[in-house]
Amino acid sequence: MERKIAVIGMPFDAHSSYLRGPAEAPALIREAILCESANSCTELGIELADQAGITDYGDIAWADDVEAFSNLEQVILNVAKSGAKPITFGGDHSITFPILKALATQYTQITILHFDAHPDLYDILDGNPLSHACPFARIMENELAANLVQVGIRTLNTHQAEQAARFNVDIHPMRDWKGPHQLSLSGPLYISIDLDGLDPAFAPGVSHHEPGGLSVRQVLDVIHSIDVPIIGADIVEYNPRRDINSMTAMVAAKLYKELCGKMLMNE
């Protein structure tokens, strides 16, 4: 099968609980990816500019918030059926639920590798079961993934600890993080990166500043260590309204490039 990647922007932040802004992310992340300050070679030597199989599908369009999810789900389904792997950027973290709904029809025994300050396992938040604080509860209760592995977590409250136990989540709390050797990942692997998993010193352009997080290098170390097939990825929660000199857009672009390269390397 020819290796193909579908790049998809998700300008959506209707399920954010605190601040809006991630809807404005896709255009700025695309701009950072193409910024002439950097070249398009990954650290592992994949020249992305030479890859004919990377197609930009543009941004998801919709008339209302419900249609946003169903349109995203349909696009991901079409991409996966064609044998391509989606990389989605922009949006709040609620979008990972419809993405997994689509991928779970094409793959079995999916493992999700989830970077975040927050476990996002609330059963419901502020009356909204689709909140960006809830996607992994929806994914696990619908059995859309077999394993959920979380890295960077530093806000585990009692309710979410109970949810984590209920769904058998493999949480690697930030305070215990020693490096990628802690993880044992099996494919097919989906990667979800909430940029607030990084320390706000590295990624200030997020709605929820939670100090004490991962460095960019620590996230890259994990990505580079992955040796199983990657079926898709998302980079969420970039909030341009909180960014400084587009530095977080550049972090998103860097992670996009390294994820892309790894997805092309790991078949």
- Alpha-carbon torsion (253, 148, 139, 53), positive or negative: positive
How many CB atoms neighbour CB 61 within 10 A? 10
Nearer to Mn ion, 30 or 118 (CB): 118
**What is the identity of the amino acid at 19?**
L
Least Cβ distance, residue 34 to Mn ion (angstroms): 26
Pick out residues in 108-137 that bind Mn ion (CB under 5 A). 116-118, 120
Mask for 57-76, x = binds Mn ion (CB under 5 A) = --------------------
Count of residues near Mn ion by CB under 5 A: 7
Mask for 179-208, x = binds Mn ion (CB under 5 A) = ---------------x-x------------
Nearer to Mn ion, 171 or 264 (CB): 171
Least Cβ distance, residue 210 to Mn ion (angstroms): 7
Q: Is 203 helix (H, G, I), strand (E, B) or coil?
A: coil
Evaluate whether 120 touches 208 at the Cβ level (below 8 Å).
no
Least Cβ distance, residue 132 to Mn ion (angstroms): 6
Least Cβ distance, residue 144 to Mn ion (angstroms): 16
The single-letter DSSP state of residue 188 is: S
Least Cβ distance, residue 218 to Mn ion (angstroms): 16
How many CB atoms neighbour CB 247 within 10 A? 13
Q: Where are the beta strands (DSSP E) in the chain?
A: 5-9, 54-59, 85-89, 111-115, 147-153, 170-173, 189-194, 230-236
- Which residues of this chain interact with Mn ion, rule CB under 5 A? 93, 116-118, 120, 194, 196
